[in-house]
Chains A and B, each alone.
Chain A
Amino acid sequence: MTLGDLHYSKVEKLLVTSGLLFQTGRFVTRLRSNIKNFAKDLIRLYGDTPLISDALVDFNIELQPSKGLHRWYHPQVNFSFNGISPFAPLPIEQSLPLLEWGLNWCVSSHYHNKLLIHAAVVEKYGRAIVLPGQPGAGKSTLCAALVLNGGFRLLSDELTMLDLQTGEVWPNPRPISLKNKAIEIIKTRSPKVNFSTTVADTVKGSVSLVCPPLASIESVETPARPGLIIFPRFNKDLESYQLTQLSKGKAFIELANQSFNYAILTEQGFLALGKHLDEAECFEFVYDGDLNLAVDIMNELIRPE
């Protein structure tokens, strides 16, 4: 049974009482919330997600309207994890992005059984393409295009998880977070895909979340072998694209820098990253925003010989 099979009123009732238990990537989340109409947004975004009853819970979280007099003229939402609020409250319209950021925080600050790297990652032919990138480099946009039009499986939009023993990539399929112009671009390319309502004026501009494909959710226990590591960079003044091979040493340092828990895992993290890089090829990919071309190139690179 999935979250989408439940009637709206039932979801709402769970949210305000014992909490809604559902699968978020590799983890089970219990969410409580009294925010009006939040059930609707949740069903839209997590409709294909398995619903769980009576399960062991990883993340016990709440999204609640914050108290205080300002709630009457400037309502805010507060995220809490087992009663601890790590962030300042946000305007209540940003509840859905806050849920996603909060869940990312839950994983990146507590889960050290795998090496966590701040990168999108997709899979084809059993091999992963890891897409690290500074904000604005276009990693989420490229990730969305590969998943929605390129036949790639979404492993994660934000958190690449490397197995400490094998260096393989474990999926954590959750919604893809698109920002600003990328929202319209992807909507035009994939009109049939389910998007959340666009939320304007967040710290990162406008945000819209894309539902993860059902196939990704269902194959959460299938890891991907190392394949490619592509550092995308968007450059609108460029004619066409540039693909440059990158040394593994340089890629290693970049990935270690982009890792949340490299310093926590120390030697284990070093070995896991080394294992992954032993089998992966690394490139820097500068492109002008032509997503069709980018998808073709990735398909070419990942194709088995």
Chain B
Amino acid sequence: MLLDILKKPQIITNFSIDEWNDFISQAYASKLLGRLYKIFEAEQLLQCIPEKLLWHFESAYQLSLTHSRDVRTEILHIRRALKLAGLRTVFLKGAAYEISGDEVAVGRVYSDIDIFVPKTNLASAESVLLWNGWIKGDINAYDESYYRNWMHEIPPLTHKIRGTTLDVHHNLSPLSARFKIDSELLSCAVEDDSECLGVNDRILHCIVHLFMETEFDKGIRDLSDIDMLLRQHINDSKSLWNDLTARAAELGMGRLYFYGVRYANKLLGTYVPASVLIDLEQKFAPNKILLAFMDRVFVRAFSQPCFLTHTFKSQLATTVIFIRGHWLKMPMHILIYHSVKKGFSQLNNLLTGKSNKKTPLPINQP
């Protein structure tokens, strides 16, 4: 349903009560209310939202304004800290959209900020952040080594006063992954006066991020990010499409790029020139049987937020994506080792009923 609304917002004008209720639920689960507010505003559809439900959209948008302001403040702090070590900061994902003025930044809520630091500078970046108030989270030795040895980022840091979370990446895909992205290529790609990856790399990173996920909890929002970035920056220019395709090939992520473009086009109606679609299919598509299988899995997984799906087929799709994501992230021997380790800790949680979430206070103190 959310996909249909993103594709054609006008359909809300004929919604029944039940459809509105489903829509609001799905929009909360996908964290898309803020973006939808702006979409409806642009399409002059705000007056079609039932008066009793309008506040959900208004409040989410109001919250996104605060997030945007806070992210901008945080960017200043991170920039200042890394400057002390003589390092230039490269922001990724949401913070990069914010800095670049990408349309996907509007109405967005953030859970963390992501930066990219080339591996050679990682140690000094980490120290200077720790001196400046960021602290390491409370994670066990196994998780720590999991991050350090196999992942593309170090364990998340939290600022001790502002409480903000910072993810420091030294690559865009896990070190152990089957798709390896040459981070040297990325470092070179950042222009001198910029603090973000270039447009093509921003789009490709967005795609890698989604199609290597093991959980699709924000899958619809991420697919919508891909759609909006492509619409804003590439749109119908054949030469821009060719550049993007060449860059995906150069980074060795043609297959993921193919999926990103395919499903954005299929599910959200992103404009892709016919010749580009054919070109991508010839260059990067898997064999027909696998593609048919992937189509079923992804179409199902994107059809509604995974939190709200209880049918067998969608659970199955979620499971396939979970396994596929892990398979992409690490070779078999590491995967088995990791699964056994995690399995034991989950078993422990099942037995004791422990959880790493907060205990609810009678009311969350302001």
Binding site for B on A (CB under 8 A): 28, 30, 54-58, 60, 66, 68-70, 74, 76, 79, 81-90, 97-98, 100-102, 104-105, 108-113, 118, 135, 158, 177, 202-204, 207, 257-260, 262-266
Residue from B21, B52, B305, B360 whose CB has the most chain A CB atoms within 10 Å: B360
Task: List residues of chain B with CB within 8 A of the CB of A55.
Answer: 17
- Which residue of A is nearest B62, CB measured? A112
Contact A260 B362 (CB under 8 A): no
Q: Is the CB of A110 within 8 A of B355?
A: no
In angstroms, Cα B359 to Cα A89, docked, is 7
B149 at the interface (CB under 8 A from A): no
The answer to the question of B237 belonging to the interface, with a C-beta cut-off of 8 Å to chain A, is: no
Chain B, residues 323-366, CB within 8 Å of chain A (1/0): the string is 00000000000000000000000000111110111111111111
Q: A70-B352, A265-B62 are in contact. Are A108 and B364 (CB under 8 A)?
A: yes
CB distance from A91 to the nearest CB of B (A): 9
Chain A residues with CB under 8 A of B366: 118, 257-260, 262
B29 at interface (Cβ–Cβ under 8 A)? yes
> What is the distance, in angstroms, from B314's C-beta to the closest C-beta of chain A?
12
B361 CB to nearest chain A CB (Å):
6
List the A side residues contacting B353 at CB < 8 Å.
66, 68, 70, 74, 76, 89
Q: Are B360 and A70 in contact (CB under 8 A)?
A: no
Cα distance A113–B305 in the bound complex, in angstroms: 26
Tell me the bound Cα distance from A158 to B365 in angstroms: 11
Residue on A nearest B310 in the bound complex, by CB: A83
A68 to B351, Cβ gap below 8 A?
yes
Whether B63 and A102, one on each chain, are in contact in the complex, defined by CB atoms closer than 8 angstroms, is: no
Q: Does B232 contact A (CB under 8 A)?
A: no
On chain B, the residues within 8 Å of A60 by CB distance are 21, 24-25, 28
Interface residues of B in 1-54 (CB under 8 A from A): 17, 20-21, 24-26, 28-29, 50, 52-53
Alpha-carbon distance A87/B363, docked complex (angstroms): 12
Taking a contact as CB atoms closer than 8 A, the residue among B21, B307, B365 that contacts A118 in the complex is B365
| Contact with A86, one of B50, B352, B357 (Cβ below 8 angstroms) | B357
Query: A125 vs B26: C-alpha distance in the bound complex, in angstroms?
Result: 43
Nearest CB on A from B46, distance (A): 14
A30 contact set on B, CB distance < 8 A? 21
**Which residue on chain A has the smallest CB distance to residue B356?**
A88
* Residue from the list A57, A88, A97, A258 in contact with B24, Cβ < 8 A: A57
Interface string of B117-142 (1 = CB under 8 A from A): 00000000000000000000000000
Chain B residues touching A, majority SS: helix
Residues on the A chain within 8 Å of B66, using CB: 263-264, 266
Q: Does B59 contact A (CB under 8 A)?
A: yes
Question: How close is A59's CB to chain B, nearest CB, in angstroms?
Answer: 9
Q: Which of A104, A112, A118 has the most chain B CB atoms inside 10 A of its CB?
A: A112
Q: Which residue of A lies closest to B70 (CB)?
A: A263
B305 CB contacts on chain A under 8 angstroms = 83
Chain B neighbourhood of A76, CB < 8 A: 353
| A55 and B24 alpha carbons, distance in the complex (Å) | 13
Residues of B contacting A262 in the complex (Cβ-Cβ under 8 angstroms) = 366
**How far, in whole Å, are A177 and B362 apart by their CA atoms in the complex?**
9
Chain A nearest CB, measured from B136 CB (Å): 22
Instruction: Give chain B nearest CB distance to A135 CB in angstroms.
Output: 8
Nearest-neighbor residue (CB-CB) of A263 within chain B: B66
Q: How far is the CA of A28 from the CA of B24 in the complex (A)?
A: 13
Q: Does B146 contact A (CB under 8 A)?
A: no
Bound complex: CA A158 to CA B52 (Å) = 22
- Asked whether, in the complex, the Cβ of B362 is within 8 Å of the Cβ of A109, the reply is no
Let me know if A105 and B364 touch, CB within 8 A: yes
Tell me the smallest distance from the CB of A231 to a CB of chain B, in Å: 15
In the bound assembly, the distance between CA atoms of A257 and B366 in angstroms comes to: 7
* Chain B residues positioned under 8 Å from A113 (CB to CB): 55, 58-59
Decide yes or no whether B84 CB sits under 8 A from chain A.
no
- CB atoms of B360 and A82 under 8 A apart: no
List 21 A–B pairs whose Cβ atoms lie within 8 Å, in order of A's numbering: A56-B20, A57-B24, A70-B353, A81-B28, A82-B308, A83-B25, A83-B29, A87-B357, A89-B353, A97-B362, A101-B361, A108-B363, A111-B59, A112-B62, A118-B363, A118-B365, A135-B362, A158-B363, A177-B362, A203-B359, A204-B362
| B180 located at the interface, meaning its Cβ lies under 8 Å from any Cβ of chain A in the complex | no
